[in-house]
Structure 1
Amino acid sequence: MNTPVVQNGRVLSGMRPTGQLHLGHYHGVLKNWIKLQHEYDCFFFVADWHALTTHYDEPQTISASVWDMVIDWLAAGVNPGAAKLFIQSRIPEHAELHLLLSMITPLGWLERVPTYKDQQEKLQEKDLSTYGFLGYPLLQSADILVYKATGVPVGEDQVAHVELTREVARRFNHLYGREPGFEDKAEAAVKKMGKKNAKLYNEHRRRYQEQGDAEALAVARALLEEQQNLSLGDRERLFGYLEGGGRIILPEPQALLTPAAKMPGLDGQKMSKSYNNTIGLREDPESITRKLRTMPTDPARVRRTDPGDPEKCPVWQLHQVYSDETTRDWVNQGCRSAGIGCLECKQPVIDKVLEELEPVRERAEEYAANPNLVRNIIEEGCDEARAVARETLQEVRSVIGLNYK
């Protein structure tokens, strides 16, 4: 059972504050956020609790990075008027839902998440045999489900986390969605749709349940999304009734696959702090120029007159990101014929990187000079996010039987 991502659906994404942001973050995450904020109801959060799962022994790094990261978001173009920006630990409902979901989540589901063993191997210098590290995918699930997000932008390596969230939501709905009198309430909700829409809903429901008609399911879901006179509770009941289950309390999110980040580091590997190959979003132009001018190139080009192979040169990867076809042709021919030198090859990239980062750096300086504005933006985002999270938790407590009145 799941609700598809629809136009104006809700999207949630977060970023861990573990250091300064660089071009890898900009091309891999922020540019996508800037696009999504105009298409969906977006919630973007500082994942400070998640940072503690691997950096619990470096809390000063986390606290020092939070506000710098928010400034980088704003400077890059994330708009607090179009998206809610907040800090995870300011919304205690994340932690409460994580706790409640942990009561129903089999241990094996967490142990089989691919990144669990992968991260332990990559970060062998850290002691990650902790409950927090094992449970962080479930905390991610709580992050998503507390806002009933319908879409989560992720790369392919994170799809398993969204799938875990879907399984957890499915199990929760199965355990707690069969409220007393569910079918009577569902039938009453159908009548609220009006005769024509009620007839269409029932026809598509029958076709799906009797014939497994996936198209009928999709049409019926779209029909429910269009209904303006249904309460949220009735809508959730009818999504569940449609598929033969109970009321959908926590909708199953969909993974919004994002293109693989194409931002290479200064050495040709993926841009990452751990490789010491980054260019910071607020780095000064002289430092950026120096880093790019001293980048390694094709080792076959010992002398200026030696021909080279762009495919073996890290600079060529940057041309794939920043240069147009004409420039790439010029580089390709000039390198292979030794018609241009390596410094000549690098200059168009240097110019483009500086051009891209100049407005980001200027906006960052404005926000950095006005810390109260940044904090007010986060306070407002936290208030908006918590209002949604509280509503979800009230419903969750109610179906579990924890609403003592």
Structure 2
Amino acid sequence: MRDCENATPVILTGDRPTGPLHLGHYVGTLKNRIEMQTSHRQFVLVADAQGLTDNADNPDRIRRNVIEVCLDYLAVGIDPAYTTICLQSAISALSELTVLYLNYVTVARLERNPTIKDEIRARGFGRDIPAGFLCYPVAQAADITAFKATLVPVGDDQVPIIEQTNEIVRRINCQAGCEILLEAKAVVPKIGRLPGVSGEGKMSKSQGSAIYLSASRAEIESAVRQMYTDPGHLRASDPGKVEGNVVFTYLDAFDPDVDAVADLKARYRRGGLGDVALKQRLVDVLETLIAPIRERRAALARHPDDVLDVLRQGTKASKITAQQTLDETREALRLSALV
């Protein structure tokens, strides 16, 4: 087996451009990306091709949100000096790798993938599953391996995708007789899946339960007012439940004063803390986090050509890296062109 290890660990991560990014993305992967970008070589993929797997009837939605996602990346602190931001559909080697990898996975295995099963159920596909949607874990395997990434920041619901990637890697390496591709490890945030403001399911754009990284203070206040607390907590003097209380879930995720949150929980449990005061603290915490992101985003949006130039330059560099992996894989599988 030949040694393909890189001196600097490589991270691959990304998002589908189906709309602006929200707090779920922030705790799910963005925070990890920002913290790790100076110590790792990082590629962030704007996954527009994957976005078409369930938006093929509305490609304009994908196109117009490419720059929205890039604005969020830059505003939140992803730095092009350390991180390569690239556009998936513009890197043809990724599509070619996907076609190769499809030969090393079965339909039955794709259908058993827990992430796929959950998302098929959530979208109500039944048996009318778009083939591209069913196979997107294979495309993600192509994305990850093309950049020789060994670390992939994901939410816990995406861990089965990384497991399937590693299965494909092992099959291809076995077939090739050498370690041409590298296995990857999922980097899961300490905070689990962030619930939507209603408390039902994870934060989601499609369900209208998201707080965007570009939200105004008024939008933050509106979202927090809707949050589920404890239906039995009718008066401030009543003892309340902390478990399952969405406001406390968000405070745990975003309030930097851990001791103060612990005190609030104790007061809420014994009675003496009203929901209005509790929600006001969360509004202040979220506004402190989002306000500088919102301001940077607005400044960046005034110069869209500069934002697109970051994407163009990153994509140009990424094409070279992905093509090298494709060439190496084709050669290892004895598929090098004869003509």
With normalisation by structure 1, the TM-score equals: 0.76
How far 1:355 moved relative to its partner? 0.6
Tell me the residue number matched to 1:299. 231
How far 1:7 moved relative to its partner? 6.5
Q: Which runs of 5+ in 2 are unaligned?
A: none
How far 1:12 moved relative to its partner? 0.8
How far 1:358 moved relative to its partner? 1.0
Tell me the residue number matched to 1:150. 150
Whole-Å separation in 2 of the counterparts to 1:5 and 1:402: 23
* Alpha-carbon contact 1:4-1:254 (below 8 Å) kept: no
The one of 350, 355, 364 equivalent to 2:297 is 364
SS of 2:34 mapped into structure 1: helix
What is the Cα-based RMSD across aligned positions, in Å? 2.5
Tell me the residue number matched to 1:43. 43
How many residues were matched structurally? 336
Tell me the residue number matched to 1:200. none
**What pairs up with 1:2-401 in 2 under 5 angstroms?**
8-124=8-124, 128-176=128-176, 246-261=177-192, 263-269=194-200, 270-311=202-243, 313-323=245-255, 324-399=257-332, 400-401=334-335
Whole-Å separation in 1 of the counterparts to 2:8 and 2:327: 24
SS of 2:42 mapped into structure 1: strand
SS of 1:264 mapped into structure 2: coil
**Percent of paired sites with the same residue:** 35
* Alpha-carbon contact 1:4-1:150 (below 8 Å) kept: no
The Cα offsets for residues 298-334 of structure 1, whole Å up to 9 and x where unpaired, read as 2123344434333353222222223324422442343
Whole-Å separation in 2 of the counterparts to 1:262 and 1:5: 32
How far 1:127 moved relative to its partner? 7.0
Q: Rate the CA distance shift 1:137–1:357 in 2: closer, same or farther, 3 A.
A: same
Larger Rg over CA atoms? 1
How far 1:170 moved relative to its partner? 2.3
Q: Rate the CA distance shift 1:148–1:6 in 2: closer, same or farther, 3 A.
A: closer
Tell me the residue number matched to 1:243. none
Whole-Å separation in 2 of the counterparts to 1:6 and 1:397: 20
The letter for the 2-side match of 1:291 is: A
The letter for the 2-side match of 1:295 is: M
The Cα offsets for residues 14-41 of structure 1, whole Å up to 9 and x where unpaired, read as 2111122111111111001111212211
How far 1:2 moved relative to its partner? 9.8
Q: Rate the CA distance shift 1:127–1:70 in 2: closer, same or farther, 3 A.
A: farther
Q: Structure 1 stretch 46-55 or stretch 269-278: which is displaced more? A: 269-278
Whole-Å separation in 1 of the counterparts to 2:194 and 2:104: 40
Q: Rate the CA distance shift 1:326–1:392 in 2: closer, same or farther, 3 A.
A: closer
With normalisation by structure 2, the TM-score equals: 0.89
Q: Rate the CA distance shift 1:272–1:247 in 2: closer, same or farther, 3 A.
A: same
